[in-house]
Structure 1
Amino acid sequence: MASSNTTLAEASNITTMAGRSNSTEAASPYSFHFGMLLNPDYLLVEAQVIFSALSIIWLGAHASLRRPPSAAHAKPKNGKKKVKDVQFAEGFTASDAIMLPVTAAIVLVGLYYALEWFKDPDIVNRVLRIYLSTVSIASLGAAAGHGLDIITSLVFPGLWVDRKGTLYRVDSDHQHQVKVGEGDVETEVVEIKTPFPSFLSTLPLSHGKIQAAWEIRNLLTEEWTVRLAAHGLGLAEFSIKLNTLLGFLIAISTTIAYNTTKWFFLPNLLGSAACYSSFSLMSPTSFSIGSAILVGLFFYDIIMVFYTPYMITVAKKIDAPIKLVFNTGRGVSMLGLGDIVVPGMLMAMALRFDLHQFYHKQMKLEPIDLVSELATATPGETVMVSETQYRRVKPTYADPEGQWGNRFWTTKLGSLSPVSIATSVRAATAFPKPYFYASMLGYFAGMLVTLTMLLVFNHGQPALLYLVPGVTGSLWLTALARGELKDMYGYTEDGSMDVEDVIVEVDSTGKTIEAVKSTAEEKGETKDNKTGKEAVARTEKGEGDYDVFLFSVTAPRRRAPKRD
């Protein structure tokens, strides 16, 4: 914590600091005693700091989940298009382990001298507040939209279970509900005409209210297709939900309020949203690169806090959403966004690796006969040779988007996991997470050590000095203990692992000896991109019509409910 008269806070992104509560104590010799760690005010504030950081990382890591290379796309239903994978906007390379600390140092030193040059920090603060809050609209809009999606899934889930353990699915097309058995097979239509789950489905509603509930469900869950084209500039096409639009309205309103009011929680809200969204945009690409980046910033943090005036000076004077601030009657405690984002991006990758391992262990080997033509000793003659090999068959991916409401309504009271019959919900939300939980524990331990050192030395501490060993150490030691060091080291999110129709050789114990990628996958000649290439070829030849300017929003056509 930091006091109101001696503010020892953290700078643009990486340091947490603490101070004492009054000027009398500040003037007297400082003496640490362990009883200070048990001070109720100190414990309360630092509990807020740790809980806030872990909550942001937990939510952001789960929002960053996407189909791992060990899982196959789910088959499209009802004539829908194949869902395309969302790619990371920033995939770090090995050179970033050097460039990120250098870039961070340049920004920090630049801020320091800007403050010195202007003399008045309000000028720099005003510019930073306007710039950062405007940039944060996209992050806060995405976070708010995801929050509304979770609320929608709680009110209108797709699956729920009753007290007897019977699983039900809500069918929007038929506007009724059906029982679901083993293997996700629908077994029986039930007399439930509302879109609500559990006891909510028994509410006495009129026919008009029930129809209105179905319409609201469809409006909040369906996706609209937005197309924007300009001749010579290209075509952009993407899907959007009503909740996404509402989220951006919330974000714009929050940004305006932040720049016009003094509400203390708004900077924390903007900063938290920026951290949350960063995990879905950035990937360390591999654990080795991520660990190297953290090590580079580890040394950067130590140098800037202990050996230069830049970090503390900037932290004391900058008033912008670059840190989380927790006020108490005894002082202020601060945590830089970098202390969340830097280790958090590796922790988010650990969660995605857990998901990859979950599906990888479900892969099956399907025997196939490969026929090859071999030349014989006689010129002009060949022999057909048949050989049995095995093809890896990936399990089908269960998208976690919109599944949190399903998990809530398919988990019995007193249990932590959905019922076993809800296989898709369990796969999407309740898969084993040993690496992610290990990294959370390492982060928690690192924060405890950081906060303890604040009191021991009564001086600002570089948080990454303790967080980096805690997070990276917990991950690599977990891999060592589980015998998965090779898997963890070889895991990458650069797309090279995402192959299909892989033929492998196995030994007598069924263990894979060698894997060979199929030529079709290596070339990427799927049906979708072939169609796209043909369309581009027609356009280049001048065939067919083209759009000079186009903006359209297309919603799924709602027909009368299907009746069996």
Structure 2
Amino acid sequence: MADMNSILESLLPIVEQLKDMQPFLPTYAHLIVSALIPIYTGAHASLSRPSSAAKPKKKSKVESDSEDEEEDEGKDTGSKMEGLEPSDALMFPLMAGLTLGGLYLIIKWLKDPSILNKILSFYFSQMGLFFAGALLRDGLKVLRSYIFPTTYSSGGHQWKVNQSKRIFASIERGSDTIAIERTSPLPGFLGAIPLPATFRNSFWGLRAVVYQKVQLRIKALTSFKAKVRIDMLDVTAAISALVAVTYFAFFAKPWWLTNLLGFSFCYGSLQVISPSTFTTGSLILASLFFYDIYFVFFTPLMVTVATKLDVPIKMVFPRPAGPNEDPNEISLAMLGLGDIVVPGMMIGLALRFDLFLYYKYKSIMLSKKESSAEGAEKAVYQRATGGWGERFWTGSNASKLLSFPKPYFYASIVGYISGMVVTLIAMQFSQHAQPALLYLVPGVLISLWSTAYFRKELNSMWSFSDMMADEESKENIEEDKEKEGKKISTKAGLFARIWSGDLKSQLDNVEAKKDDEHPNKKSLVEKSSSDEETSEASSNDSIPSNTDAEVEKCIFSLSISMPRRKV
């Protein structure tokens, strides 16, 4: 009986802490969900064709559902992310520590961080404009796919849009099938709603506007040329991002706008930076694990910089005031962006590993069915990103075709949530700021490597490389001179490439690409005789005097055109 009483007495402090924690549960739930959303969306947005899948055949202009689909075909040719190497495991905590120490000294020297906040706000606004624009653009494209999908299923038929005729036509499954047309621009059951001609035409016109692309050609002197296609969503996203960043930098910094910019930084970073292998990722997480512990527990640097600076390097969440805090003041819970991006890199790598394994095993099954002698036939890649509205309106069959098993991704998500919950509990009991990576790193790494152990895929996980190219990609790289300058530099780490002046090599590649823009000229010169070469040279010498003069006159030019689809 005495033992039971002692056990109950020892549990009383825990029960009291749980009661005190109850008012903070909505805030903690908000924090966890807000951390998971950029990880989930950023990881899925980073998907591209793995080396275990065959490159799909290019669709014709007629077969393509939209111009977006035509452009996205080029995006799935392989990973274009910045691969982190083992040397970055040393450089990341070193550079982060130097930056953190420098900011801490500046704050102590100025005594008023408002000046530093203004400088950093202007600096982050430049990057925030790009990342926020990309986030808003992708969000608007998802919304467009739900309101105006390119295809949908209804009444036992699958319907595909024909914008030029302003109809939806059923897809013919056989020669005896009679094509049926719908004049309503609304998808699914909404198409059965009778609309007046005025509203119907207005919806078709709005649909044309949000899908219409405009091609911009920009030339500045002789050193800069650019050609890009944009649509109304790109313009809307750019204007909205500019308004948001300007308001944040020069007017006010509400918590929701800070979180929006922080969300966009995380979303964009997870599509740009990734460890090249699981071992490299584990080394980077382990180094930042010790970095976080040292600067939170043993120095005041991390807490001081996080609380004094009001810039989008963190996410903040309103929470109830604590027992020793003024209830009239707004209390905020904080989560650093590093606690999202650093584990998120490994979670994104796990999702791409799932996609790699899916096509690897699918290719093996296809080889067995077709009794392939070589056994090297690859399954054709299907885009695993985008088309959310089309998936919704076409039903579960289309979703199954685009989905794939994700055991490593879900395991890492479970590990991340577990680490976050332990972090919040430790913070509640200790009443002190906690290094989140102290709990997140073991949660993510243990969940990933233990999953590989129990699935008996440790060898595959160990040898997997996110930067690995297949045979088709290697041929393209050898043919493209632009890639030759990166063969040596990609072996070094991210910081090593920056310090070695790798940006200059990219400029050299642009110049090399300009030389390759006219291959017909080179073939003509090779086929011509020596006399013809001399005559061509003499004639060419007389031409540049006029063309160069015209180019020099052109300081800046901008042309806008509306490309038409070829039928």
Q: TM-score, normalised by structure 1?
A: 0.76
Paired residue type of 2:392: F
When residues 198 and 88 of structure 1 are mapped into structure 2, their CA distance, relative to the original with a 3 A threshold, is same
Match of 1:34 among 2, 8, 15: 15
Paired residue type of 2:348: A
Q: Does 1:396 align with 2:381?
A: yes
> What 5-or-longer segments of structure 1 have no aligned partner?
1-30, 369-386, 412-417, 502-516
> What 5-or-longer segments of structure 2 have no aligned partner?
1-11, 322-330, 485-511, 526-536
Q: CA deviation at 1:177?
A: 2.4
Paired residue type of 1:66: S
CA distance in structure 1 between the aligned counterparts of 2:90 and 2:518, rounded to whole angstroms: 40
When residues 118 and 406 of structure 1 are mapped into structure 2, their CA distance, relative to the original with a 3 A threshold, is same
Cα pair 1:140 1:270 within 8 Å, conserved: yes
Q: CA deviation at 1:49?
A: 0.7
Alpha carbon RMSD of aligned pairs, Å? 3.5
* Higher helix fraction (1 or 2): 2
Cα pair 1:499 1:522 within 8 Å, conserved: no
Show CA shifts across 1:41-69 (max 9, x none). Answer: 11111111111101121122222222323
Show CA shifts across 1:109-135 (max 9, x none). Answer: 000001111111112122122221332
Match of 1:78 among 48, 61, 64: 61
CA distance in structure 1 between the aligned counterparts of 2:311 and 2:237, rounded to whole angstroms: 22
Match of 1:286 among 263, 267, 277: 277
Q: CA deviation at 1:100?
A: 0.8
When residues 322 and 199 of structure 1 are mapped into structure 2, their CA distance, relative to the original with a 3 A threshold, is same
Match of 2:414 among 423, 441, 457: 441
CA distance in structure 2 between the aligned counterparts of 1:104 and 1:328, rounded to whole angstroms: 29
Q: TM-score, normalised by structure 2?
A: 0.76
Q: Secondary structure at the match of 2:75?
A: coil
Percent identity over paired residues:
36
CA distance in structure 2 between the aligned counterparts of 1:466 and 1:539, rounded to whole angstroms: 61
Map 1:28-427; keep pairs closer than 5 Å: 32-38=13-19, 39-71=21-53, 72-78=55-61, 83-85=73-75, 88=80, 90-162=82-154, 166-180=157-171, 188-230=178-220, 232-258=222-248, 259-330=250-321, 331-363=331-363, 364-365=366-367, 389-398=374-383, 400-401=385-386, 403-411=387-395, 418=396, 420=397, 422=398, 425-427=399-401
Partner of 2:530: none
* Higher strand fraction (1 or 2): 1
Cα pair 1:351 1:436 within 8 Å, conserved: yes
Cα pair 1:175 1:195 within 8 Å, conserved: yes
Q: Secondary structure at the match of 2:240?
A: helix
When residues 131 and 65 of structure 1 are mapped into structure 2, their CA distance, relative to the original with a 3 A threshold, is same
CA distance in structure 1 between the aligned counterparts of 2:95 and 2:245, rounded to whole angstroms: 27
Paired residue type of 1:263: P
Q: CA deviation at 1:295?
A: 1.0
Cα pair 1:301 1:462 within 8 Å, conserved: yes
Q: Does 1:472 align with 2:445?
A: yes
Cα pair 2:289 2:441 within 8 Å, conserved: yes
Q: CA deviation at 1:151?
A: 0.9
Map 1:473-552; keep pairs closer than 5 Å: 473-494=446-467, 496-500=468-472, 523-524=478-479, 534-536=516-518, 548=551, 550-552=557-559
CA distance in structure 1 between the aligned counterparts of 2:311 and 2:477, rounded to whole angstroms: 48
When residues 463 and 388 of structure 1 are mapped into structure 2, their CA distance, relative to the original with a 3 A threshold, is closer
Partner of 1:509: none
Q: Secondary structure at the match of 2:410?
A: helix
CA distance in structure 2 between the aligned counterparts of 1:357 and 1:133, rounded to whole angstroms: 39
Q: Secondary structure at the match of 2:229?
A: strand
Show CA shifts across 1:335-370 (max 9, x none). Answer: 0111011111211222222222223333244999xx
Show CA shifts across 1:493-538 (max 9, x none). Answer: 32x333239xxxxxxxxxxxxxxx9xx5674479xx9998753456
The number of equivalent residue pairs is: 479
Cα pair 1:92 1:284 within 8 Å, conserved: yes
CA distance in structure 2 between the aligned counterparts of 1:94 and 1:539, rounded to whole angstroms: 45
Cα pair 1:367 1:391 within 8 Å, conserved: no
Cα pair 2:170 2:181 within 8 Å, conserved: no
Cα pair 1:46 1:451 within 8 Å, conserved: yes
